[in-house]
């Protein structure tokens, strides 16, 4: 069965001390709730601050922690560069984007740190932003963005030669970004034109919530990516909100000020999809008289939920996709917005919910 972990971006903290605190306070709690005592894979969110603070002493401390607790580094979330909790994040989560040198330097340092933290690893995926936020991007920006991605790929190739560890820069399509749909992801790799020597070092982070929001078919997405010989560095196991008919009015309950909740709605008359940058924009359209028969919202919720309150979820996308995946693709449950769910719909502790998610995925794959 595929290696399965959860992403530590559900826990607040930007420093290296926060990384270790979250391992001790949360990862061990989750591990204790799971059956058996098999090696526990880690999906670490490592912010820019933490990368800069992770010196040799910190690296040795992490390695000792892994030996003591029977754990190992599986994947890194290098998407959010800075603050990711308890303040307005919204579209700033993409900054710096792939037009900027800071994104290049951060991605290189994450690669260097990854092999230092896990010198016995064979492959580590590092997820990253989908080039840029679409409203801020121009066609003239493509040249520098592509150049920057190629530069990191070359750095990862050099690391592979020196360490034997293959790093995969895993670009994560997301609604309202330059890479949003499967079509746009495929177009990106065609634009990138990597030589065979660099192709192994750039792939996709396939986020199930994001592609479900786009009304895409799980089987079709996977088949097309496979035909293009695009590496899937990891799959983020996540679920979105889905409302139909009278349920749609209840989506407004999930509007909150921290994260961007992009919405894609199907027009009830034309059948066409309309995209909204944030949930507030969608609810404003409803107030203006727009009619939709279904809407899906980028809001990561526990994957075991078939319904959440008075709306549904895209859990069916997970049921369709996960059994189709090759067993060598890492799986990472990612429900970072748990604390943003309306309080009356949250049940149990963070640790309880994460463990339940991991067991739900395991049961689905073993079925």
DSSP per-residue codes, 226-266: HHTT--EEEEEE-EEEEEEGGGGGGGGGG--SSS---EEEE
Structure tokens at 159: 């690391």
Q: Which residues contact 121 (CB under 8 A, 6 or more apart)?
A: 72, 73, 114, 115, 165
Least Cα distance to 311 among 357, 254, 264 occurs for 254
Assess if residue 277 is contained within a domain: no
pLDDT of residue 37: 87
Whether residue 208 is predicted with pLDDT greater than 90 in this model: the reply is yes
How far apart, in whole angstroms, are the C-alpha atoms of residue 135 and residue 125?
A: 28
How far apart, in whole angstroms, are the C-alpha atoms of residue 92 and residue 183?
A: 25
SS3 content of the chain, % helix, strand, coil (to 5): 45, 20, 30
pLDDT of residue 6: 98
Peptide bond into 96 cis (omega under 30): yes
pLDDT of residue 268: 80
Whether residue 240 is predicted with pLDDT greater than 90 in this model: the reply is yes
pLDDT of residue 356: 98
Assess if residue 261 is contained within a domain: no
User: By percentage, how much of the chain surpasses pLDDT 70?
Assistant: 100
Signed CA dihedral, 330, 336, 337, 343: sign only: positive
Parent domain of 355 = 4-238+312-366
Q: Are 192 and 150 in contact (CB under 8 A)?
A: yes
pLDDT of residue 367: 86
Assess if residue 132 is contained within a domain: yes
How far apart, in whole angstroms, are the C-alpha atoms of residue 212 and residue 318?
A: 9
Helices of type H across 265-349: 279-287, 315-321
Higher pLDDT, 204 or 269: 204
Tell me the average pLDDT across 60-70.
Answer: 98
Tell me the average pLDDT across 306-321.
Answer: 97
Distances, alpha carbon 256 to alpha carbons 86, 88, 281, 353, in Å: 11, 10, 12, 21
Assess if residue 134 is contained within a domain: yes
Structure tokens at 352: 């309880």
Assess if residue 187 is contained within a domain: yes
Assess if residue 220 is contained within a domain: yes
Assess if residue 265 is contained within a domain: no
Question: pTM for this one?
Answer: 0.97
Give the strands of the sheet with 123-128, arranged side by side: 4-6, 331-333, 232-237, 202-207, 166-171, 123-128, 71-77, 40-45
110-121: burial string, b at 16+ Cβ within 10 Å, e else: bbebbbbbbeeb
Helices of type H across the chain: 16-22, 28-33, 48-53, 56-69, 101-117, 142-163, 182-192, 208-213, 218-227, 279-287, 315-321, 350-366
For the domain that residue 107 is a member of, what is the CATH number?
Answer: 3.20.20.150
Assess if residue 351 is contained within a domain: yes
Q: pLDDT, tens digit, for every residue of 139-189?
A: 999 999 999 999 999 999 999 999 999 999 999 999 999 999 999 999 999
Question: In the chain, how many domains are there?
Answer: 1
User: By percentage, how much of the chain surpasses pLDDT 90?
Assistant: 97
The per-residue pLDDT of the chain, averaged, comes to: 97
- Residue 104: which pLDDT band, with cuts at 50, 70 and 90? very high
């Amino acid at each position: 069965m595929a290696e399965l972990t959860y992403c530590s971006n559900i826990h607040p903290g930007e420093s290296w001390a926060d990384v270790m605190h979250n391992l001790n306070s949360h990862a061990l709690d989750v591990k204790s709730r799971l059956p058996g005592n098999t090696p526990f894979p880690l999906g670490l969110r490592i912010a820019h601050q933490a990368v800069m603070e992770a010196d040799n002493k910190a690296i040795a401390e992490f390695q000792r922690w892994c030996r003591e607790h029977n754990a190992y580094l599986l994947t890194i979330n290098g998407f959010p560069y800075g603050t990711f909790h308890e303040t307005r994040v919204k579209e700033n989560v993409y900054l710096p984007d792939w037009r900027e040198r800071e994104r290049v330097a951060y991605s290189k340092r994450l690669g260097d740190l990854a092999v230092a933290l896990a010198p016995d690893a064979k492959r580590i995926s590092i997820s990253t932003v989908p080039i840029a936020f679409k409203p801020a991007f121009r066609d003239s920006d493509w040249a520098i963005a592509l150049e920057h991605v190629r530069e990191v790929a070359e750095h990862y190739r050099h690391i592979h030669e020196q360490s034997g560890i293959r790093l995969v820069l895993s670009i994560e399509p997301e609604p309202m970004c330059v890479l949003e749909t499967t079509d746009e992801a495929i177009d990106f790799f065609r634009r990138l034109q990597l030589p065979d020597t660099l192709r192994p070092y750039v792939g996709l982070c396939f986020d199930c919530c994001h592609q479900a929001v786009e009304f895409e078919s799980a089987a079709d997405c996977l088949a097309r990516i496979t035909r293009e010989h695009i590496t899937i560095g990891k799959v983020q196991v996540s679920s979105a909100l889905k409302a139909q008919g009278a349920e749609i009015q209840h989506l407004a309950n999930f509007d909150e000020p921290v994260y961007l909740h992009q919405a894609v709605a199907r027009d009830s008359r034309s059948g066409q999809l309309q995209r909204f940058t944030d949930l507030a924009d969608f609810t404003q359209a409803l107030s203006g008289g727009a009619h939709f028969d279904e809407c899906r919202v980028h809001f990561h919720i526990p994957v075991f939920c078939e319904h959440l309150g008075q709306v549904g979820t895209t859990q069916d996308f997970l049921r369709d996709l996960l059994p189709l995946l090759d067993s060598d693709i890492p799986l990472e449950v990612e429900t970072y917005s748990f604390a943003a769910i309306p309080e009356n719909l949250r049940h149990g502790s963070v640790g309880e919910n994460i463990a339940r998610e991991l067991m739900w995925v395991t049961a689905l794959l073993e079925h």
